[in-house]
Structure 1
Amino acid sequence: MNWLESTQLRNWQFTADQLRRMRENNHQRSLDALQQARARSSSAASLETMDSQASGASAAPAPEPLALEEELALLKYYGSRLQHVSRELRLPRRVLGTALAYLQRAYLAFSCMEQDPQQLLLTCLYLACKIEEHYISAAELGRLTGVPADLILRTELVALQGLKFDLIVHSPYKALEGFFEDIKEAAAEAGSSEAAAAAAGLDPGMAALDELQLGKARAVAYSATDALLLSDAPLLHAPGRLALAALRSGFNKLGIKLQKYLERVARRSSGSADWQAGLAQLQAALSELDRLGAEGARSVEQEEMAAIDRKLKACRAALGGVGKEAAAAKAKAKAEKAARKAAKAAEQRSAAEASLGILPAAPAAGAAEAAAAAADGAAPGAQQPPTKRQRQGEV
C-alpha cells in the first residue's frame, strides 16, 4: 500500500486546528441535544415539580454535560483498555494499531455523549480482527471478554458509519519493523568498520549492537509507539514519522543518539537536492511527537474516570429518554395512520358494493335460522303443515 496514494492520508490526516474544530462541533451538537431534552421534558416535569413541591420533595437536577477535555480523557482511558484487552488475548500488534485507529476516527464523527465508547470499544476490535485477517467471531470475542455478543454486533453499523466505511489503516508498527530491518542490513554491510557505518548513515555504536541490545531497543520503541497511539499523533503525522520517533526513543535507552540515521532517512525521503530542508522538517516533527508521546504515556486516574463516567451515564440517560419519547410518538403516529388507512379502505369497499347492488351479509344467527328452515323445507317463520297423525286426531 502506497502511503502517498492512501485514503488515510487523504481522509484521516489533519492539522491541530482542524481536529479542535471537529471535536468542538461534535461537543456542541451534544450540548444542543441535551438542551432539547430538557425542553421536551419540561412540560411533564412541571407537573411532577408541582407535586413534589406540595409534598416537600425537590425536583431532580438536570445532568451536567461533559467538558471536551473530559471526553478526550475518556477516549484515552478506553484506548488503554483496548491495549490491555489486546495483550490479554495475545492479538498481533497490527490488530491493536487498527483498532485504536478506528476508535480515534469514529469519535471525529460523534461525541462520547452521543455514543458511549465503552460500548464501541470491542466493536472496533472486532472490525480490526476482520480487516487484519485475524478473524475472531463476535460470539468468541464476547466469551473471552465477558461482553454479550449482540452488543458487539449492535454497534457495528454505528462504528462503520463513523469510519465512513474506510477501514484500511497504515500502522506505525509495520514501519517500525522496517526501520529495524534497515538498520540490521546497513550494519551487516558496514561490518566492523566505524567509517563504513558512518558512511552508511549509522550512528556510532549502532553497527556493533547484538541481538539482545536490539531487542531492548525494540521493546522500548514498541512501548513508545503504544503511547503515541493514545495521543493525537496518528491523526497529525504519517505512520513512518511515528515509527521514527519511537525508534529514537528505543536507541536513546541504549545511549545512542540518532543523528546520522535521521540524515539517512531524510536523504531517502527528500532526495539528494533538498534533504537538509527535509531533515529540518523531520526534526521539528519528531520534537512534537516526543511531546505527544509523553502526553499519551500519562495515565488517567481511576477516581477521575469514575467521576467522568457517572456524568456520561447521566447525559446518556437524558438523551436516551428523548429517543424513547420520539420513538413512542413515531409509533403512535404510525398506528394512527394505519387506522385511518384501514377506515378509508372499508369505506371505499362499502361504496363499491353498494354501487353493484350487493347487499350486506346477513348476521350469523339469521343465516343459521335460514339454513335450518331450508333444511326443513320451509321459509323462516312460516307455519308448518299438519302431519298425518295430527289430521287423524282432528277427525
Structure 2
Amino acid sequence: RVGRTRKSMSCYLTSTQKRFWILTREDIEKRRSDARRRAIESAQEARASTGEPLQTDGPEPLTDEEETLLRRYYEAKILKVCAAFSLPSKVQATAVTLFKRFLLGTSLLQHNLKVMMLTSIYVACKVEENYVSAEEFGKGMHEDASRVLNAELTLLAGLQFQLVTYSPYRAVNGFRCDLEDKTERGDLEGPATPREKLDECVGLARRTVDKLMLTDAPLMYSPGKLGLAAFRAAGRELGVDAVARYVESVKEGKEDADVDGTL
C-alpha cells in the first residue's frame, strides 16, 4: 500500500490536472466571463450576417447566478445518472470534473447541456476503463445516442484532450489506509479505532465529497486537500479522535509541503 501511495503522489504532481486545471477563483471567473462574452458576440454576429436587425427587446442572456444554477443542476444530474447505472465513484468524479472543465472554456449558451452531460459520463467511462455504450446511455436517458457520439470530439477539444483526473474519493480511501498503517507501526499515538468506525467515517467523508463535487472546489484545490478536509470533517462529526490525530500528523514535518503525499 505504501508503494502505491507514493506512486500516486508522483503521478499527480506531474499531471495535467495539477499543471493546468487547479485555478484561482479569479481565473475561474475570468474564464467563464470570457466564454460568456464570446458566445454573446458570436450570436450577435450570426444574426447580423443574416441581415436581421438586432433585437433590443428580446430575451436577455442568462445572468451569472442563473448560469451557476444551471451548471449545478447538470452536475447533480451526473451524480444521479452514475448512480442509476451503478457506476463507480471514480467514473462519477471524472465525469463531473470533465464537465466542469469543459464549461470553463465554452458558454452554457452554445451547447445542449443534457447532451454534454451524457457525453462527459460516456468519456469518463472510457477514461476509467468502465465502458458503457452510448446506445445504453441514450436509451436510459431518452436521448439519441448519435448526439452523444457526435459531441464527443467537441468535448475532447474543449478539454484540450487533457483527460487525467485524480479523485478526492481515492484520496479519502488513501488517508484511511495510511491511518491504519501508522497505527499498526505505532507512529500514531492512542488506541486503534475499530474497523467498523473507520468504515462509517469513510462513508460520511465520501458523502461530503459528493457535496464538494457540486462546487468549484475541484477546480481550486488538489484532490488530496479535498479528501483530507472531508475525512477530517467526518472524524469530527463522528467523534473519531484518531482521525484528528492523523490529520495533525499529516500536517507536520515534510508532509506539510503537500498533503497529496497521502494519495
- TM-score range, shorter-chain basis? 0.7 to 0.9
Q: Determine the C-alpha separation between the residues in 2 that align with 1:37 and 1:152.
A: 25
Share of identical aligned residues, percent? 33
1:63 paired to 2:72? no
Q: Determine the C-alpha separation between the residues in 2 that align with 1:239 and 1:44.
A: 49
Deviation at 1:141, TM superposition (A): 2.0
Deviation at 1:248, TM superposition (A): 1.0
State the partner residue of 1:118.
Answer: 114
Q: Deviations over 1:7-32 (max 9, x none)?
A: 11111111111111111111111222
Deviation at 1:104, TM superposition (A): 0.5
State the partner residue of 1:372.
Answer: none
Q: Determine the C-alpha separation between the residues in 2 that align with 1:160 and 1:210.
A: 45
Deviation at 1:67, TM superposition (A): 1.2
State the partner residue of 1:12.
Answer: 21
State the partner residue of 2:245.
Answer: 260
With over 3 angstroms needed to count, the CA separation of the structure-2 counterparts of 1:45 and 1:23, relative to structure 1, is: closer
Q: Determine the C-alpha separation between the residues in 1 that align with 2:205 and 2:126.
A: 26
Q: Determine the C-alpha separation between the residues in 1 that align with 2:233 and 2:44.
A: 47
Q: Determine the C-alpha separation between the residues in 2 that align with 1:6 and 1:174.
A: 16
Deviation at 1:170, TM superposition (A): 1.1
Q: Mind listing any 5+ residue stretches in structure 1 that lack a counterpart?
A: 47-58, 191-199, 283-395
Give yes or no for contact 1:175–1:240 (8 Å, CA) kept in 2.
Answer: yes
State the partner residue of 1:163.
Answer: 159
Q: Which SS does the other structure have where 2:58 is aligned?
A: coil
Q: Determine the C-alpha separation between the residues in 1 that align with 2:234 and 2:138.
A: 36
Give yes or no for contact 2:119–2:148 (8 Å, CA) kept in 1.
Answer: yes
State the partner residue of 2:3.
Answer: none
Q: Determine the C-alpha separation between the residues in 2 that align with 1:216 and 1:172.
A: 17
Q: Which SS does the other structure have where 2:138 is aligned?
A: helix
Q: Deviations over 1:30-54 (max 9, x none)?
A: 222233345445x5569xxxxxxxx
1:150 paired to 2:146? yes
Is the radius of gyration larger for structure 1 or structure 2?
1
Q: Determine the C-alpha separation between the residues in 2 that align with 1:259 and 1:217.
A: 12
State the partner residue of 1:98.
Answer: 94
Give yes or no for contact 2:119–2:155 (8 Å, CA) kept in 1.
Answer: yes
Q: Determine the C-alpha separation between the residues in 2 that align with 1:223 and 1:184.
A: 21
Q: Which amino acid in 2 is paired with 1:267?
A: E
Q: TM-score, normalised by structure 1?
A: 0.59
For structure 1, which segment, 210-219 or 30-39, has the greater mean C-alpha deviation from structure 2 after superposition?
30-39
With over 3 angstroms needed to count, the CA separation of the structure-2 counterparts of 1:20 and 1:44, relative to structure 1, is: closer
Give yes or no for contact 1:27–1:68 (8 Å, CA) kept in 2.
Answer: no
Give yes or no for contact 1:201–1:263 (8 Å, CA) kept in 2.
Answer: no
Give yes or no for contact 1:71–1:111 (8 Å, CA) kept in 2.
Answer: no
Q: Which amino acid in 2 is paired with 1:229?
A: M
1:34 pairs, out of 39, 43, 61, with: 43
State the partner residue of 1:56.
Answer: none
Q: Mind listing any 5+ residue stretches in structure 2 that lack a counterpart?
A: 1-7
1:223 pairs, out of 207, 225, 233, with: 207
Deviation at 1:97, TM superposition (A): 0.8
Q: Determine the C-alpha separation between the residues in 2 that align with 1:157 and 1:146.
A: 21
Q: Determine the C-alpha separation between the residues in 2 that align with 1:68 and 1:60.
A: 20
With over 3 angstroms needed to count, the CA separation of the structure-2 counterparts of 1:40 and 1:63, relative to structure 1, is: farther
State the partner residue of 1:75.
Answer: 71
Q: Which amino acid in 1 is paired with 2:36?
A: H
